[in-house]
Structure 1
Amino acid sequence: MDETYQIYVNRVASLTLPTTYQNQLNNIQNSPKFQQKQPVPFPGYTVLTPPYQDDLVNETFYHQLTLIQQQLIQKIEPNFLIPVPPESFHLTLADLIWEDNYRNAVQTDQDFNQKLKQAISDSFQAYEKLDLEKGQCQWQILGLLVFPRALVVGLVPCNELSYNKIFQLRRSIYQNQELIKLGIEQQYHFTAHITLGYFGEIPDDLDKSSLESIILSFNDQWIEKKPQVLMLEQGELRKFENMMRFLSDQSNPRVRI
């Protein structure tokens, strides 16, 4: 289901075009994952890079992202964006299971969590056995992307090797028959991103033209500066309770990318 390297880069680049922003801003919605700017219960599991608070490799990258988030909040409508706490900034490598599907799974099978951990561990081992080219996995900021319920930073691979590593990791996960038996399957094309905030109150008179200009101005800043690069060295399974808390557990499987 995931695309080739060049198709991925072209698709994500198209998401930063003014015409795309215009269409997307016409269809934004407030996020149901929050009520009165507070996260609601939204349990599940995902495979991600270590969040900012646990990432010792990308300190400079996430510091810059924190500054960008602060600048955005200052420029846009009050209460429009519910900011993600910077300490939880991360890159999702593979969506697994969440909300009602997760609740139903653990009610049906009391061993579901352990089975999920074992299956992901097997996927990680399968990935590590692949004869992949050696080298760092580096992704860089392309620009802001407007998702239906969130404002995010979009990332593209610095080279084909970096893309292939994530492509193969996702393939090892989604083609795992034990995961499929647990009801987990790929539902989305991969769009590498780090969420800055979710949409809260959307005013009826929201100045979409002004918001588009703000987004484009931030993108221009990235074009003019040295690319901000995220080093992907590790992926791990984490449980989340809501969109602000991704729980660390030493028993969770990890993989070197």
Structure 2
Amino acid sequence: MYVNRVASLTLPTSYQNQLKNIQKSPKFQQRQPVSFPGYTVLTPPYQDDTTNESFYEQLNLIQQQLIEKIAPNLLIPLPPESFHLTLADLIWEDNYLNGIKSEQNFDEKLEKAITESFETYQKIDLEKGESQWQILGLLVFPRALVVGLVPCNELSYDKIYQLRRTIYQNKQLIGLGIQQQYLLTAHVTLGYFDEIPDNLDRSSLESVILSFNDQWIEKEPQILKVAQGELRKFENMTEFLSDQTNPKVMI
């Protein structure tokens, strides 16, 4: 079901519909990140991930090639060191700012609840083996261009599914206003859209995207090994803060 849903997003008809509706991202102004605070559970970003160096090097190359081929300044590229896979969106911007105003020690309570979710996950009787995800193709989101990922096998998907379930069913997190807002569409964001030109050649952009997807079909699969999840606070979409006390979970 997951693979079929994500694969449908790489069909030419889907791209045509998606490209009609792209918008400038409010997370950037004058191509610089704006304040957008919150928390997320993610894999270690590229700068902290020694397991997936070749995978992220490939994404870095793809990002550079895309920028060369699409309309100038259409995409605001993310710094490659921030590349990551989001495992579970938690809370951000106004919801987070309202949370810290209305709930004393909000951050500490959130961290404690996530730690409990991670401990619950570790007790689930899952098969041994790595969670591995491979590149399917480029996906067009309303405000971003991303690389979509699909699981290499059922276990790979089940591990992430079970982790998300322990997070979103945590009553302490629900009490803090945290709930599942999106279905899982595993991806790594390459960049966010800037101003959309009135004369944007969407057909040309679609052709560029399809040409990248054709390359992946012909190449050896690019695999992301999902070995660890971490709770991280972010100040904007390029900075995911880390310290030794961040709750972590082996996947």
TM-score interval, smaller chain: over 0.9
Q: Give 1:134 shift.
A: 0.7
In the aligned structure 1, how far is the partner of 2:165 from the partner of 2:184?
11
- 2:41 maps to 47
Structure 2 unpaired stretches of 5+: none
* Alpha-carbon distance in 2 for matches of 1:193, 1:242: 18
For 1:194 and 1:110, how far apart are their aligned partners in 2?
A: 34
1:24 to 2:54 alignment = no
**5+ long unaligned stretches in structure 1:** 1-6
Q: Which 4+ residue blocks in structure 1 deviate beyond 6 angstroms?
A: none
User: What is the aligned counterpart of 2:107 among 110, 113, 118?
Assistant: 113
Distance 1:239 1:65 in 2: 24
What is the aligned partner in structure 2 of residue 157 from structure 1? 151
Corresponding residue to 2:70 among 76, 79, 89: 76
Task: Calculate percent identity across the aligned residue pairs.
Answer: 77
1:226 aligns with 2:220: yes
1:110: how far off? Answer: 3.1
Structure 2 SS opposite 1:145: strand
Q: Give the aligned residue type for 2:160.
A: I
Deviation at residue 109 of structure 1 after TM alignment: 2.0
Give 1:107 shift.
Answer: 1.2
Structure 1 residues 51-87: Cα deviation after superposition (integer angstroms, max 9, x where no partner): 0000000000000000000000001111100000000
Letter paired with 1:62: Y
Residue-by-residue CA offset, 1:227-250 (whole Å, 9 max, x unaligned) = 000000000000000001000121
Query: SS at the partner of 2:190?
Result: strand
CA RMSD of aligned residues (A): 0.5
2:188 maps to which residue?
194
Counterpart residue number, 2:201: 207
3-state secondary structure, aligned to 1:227: coil
Scaled by the length of structure 2, the TM-score of the pair is: 0.99
Q: Give the number of equivalent residue pairs.
A: 251
- TM (norm. structure 1) is 0.97
Partner SS for 2:73 = coil
Q: CA deviation at 1:180?
A: 0.5
Q: Secondary structure at the match of 2:182?
A: coil
1:9-56, Cα deviation, whole Å (9 max, x unpaired): 000000000000000000000000110000110000000000000000
**Which of 122, 129, 132 is the equivalent residue of 2:123?**
129
Q: Distance in 1 between matches of 2:237 and 2:14?
A: 26
